[in-house]
Amino acid sequence: MQFQELERQRQINRYLSQEKFSERILAIQECMNAQDKYIELFYGFIGKHNLTQHSDAETPIISALIKNEIAIYSSLILTIDGLYGSGLVLLRSVYEALMIAKFSFLRQRDNLISKWIAGETIYLSKTILKKILVPDITELKALWENLCKPSHATIYSYQITMKFEEIENEISVNLAIISMLLCCNFHLINKHYVTNSMIDLVKRYHSQEGEFQSRRDSAKTATQSLTKFLSQSGRQVIKEYSRVWKLAPPVSS
């Protein structure tokens, strides 16, 4: 197809996606906005470990939260434009960032953080997935496998058509994965980034009383609203990510 034809189809897909999936797209947008408003309260504390009680794990956590906003936005735009293959590739990095960030918080003396900061390759399955003993993470592993398949030049990569009637299901799947990852993102913010010290400081010094509770409640409500669009397997992904992880003991060097 020529460029003009592809561009015309992209515009058609945007219109049809917004018509077909309007409620889901709006819920995703509202969730992104609510989560951003919540975490915005704490940006002034970045790097101030004496105030936040954070360790070096703050670096991969903050990186995940900031970069995931842009990656999820990009994936959403590509998806509703009918470029679901390109959108899906971006979601693999979102998933990786979420897993690395939570693992770093739980295993702060592990060399994972130093390897990540040095820019070394993190083999997710070996380094993280196989070390989670509890809970059972069958669905998290299945999602990882499905996100890896289109990331290489295999029969699963990208797409061969942009016609909406032929890719409607793939668009729906991408929207579901985006929703799952946004729910996991809220867990990372609320349980592993925002500390009690940060909450106390915001409550004490924010100009508007009750702002912390209001923004957290809004983010929680907007996040929970996404689950009604998910299958049982999709909701299980969120449960497995949000549960307390019991990790295998570190290997002594």
Predicted confidence (pLDDT) per residue in 170-179, tens digit: 999 999 999 9
CA distance 123 to 134: 20
Range from 24-38, 48-62, 192-206 that averages highest in pLDDT: 24-38
Per-residue pLDDT tens over the stretch 127-172:
999 999 999 999 999 999 999 998 888 888 889 999 999 999 999 9
One-letter amino acid of 31: C
- Tell whether the model's pLDDT for residue 72 goes beyond 70: yes
Mean pLDDT of 106-120: 89
* Secondary structure element (H or E) that encloses residue 132, with its range: strand 132-134
CA distance 235 to 253: 38
Rounded to whole angstroms, what are the CA distances from 25 to 7, 175, 223? Answer: 21, 8, 13
- Tell whether the model's pLDDT for residue 66 goes beyond 80: yes
Per-residue pLDDT tens over the stretch 193-218:
999 999 999 988 876 888 999 999 99
**pTM for this model (two decimals):** 0.95
- Identify the pLDDT of residue 251: 72
pLDDT band at 252 (very low <50, low <70, confident <90, very high): low
One-letter amino acid of 170: E
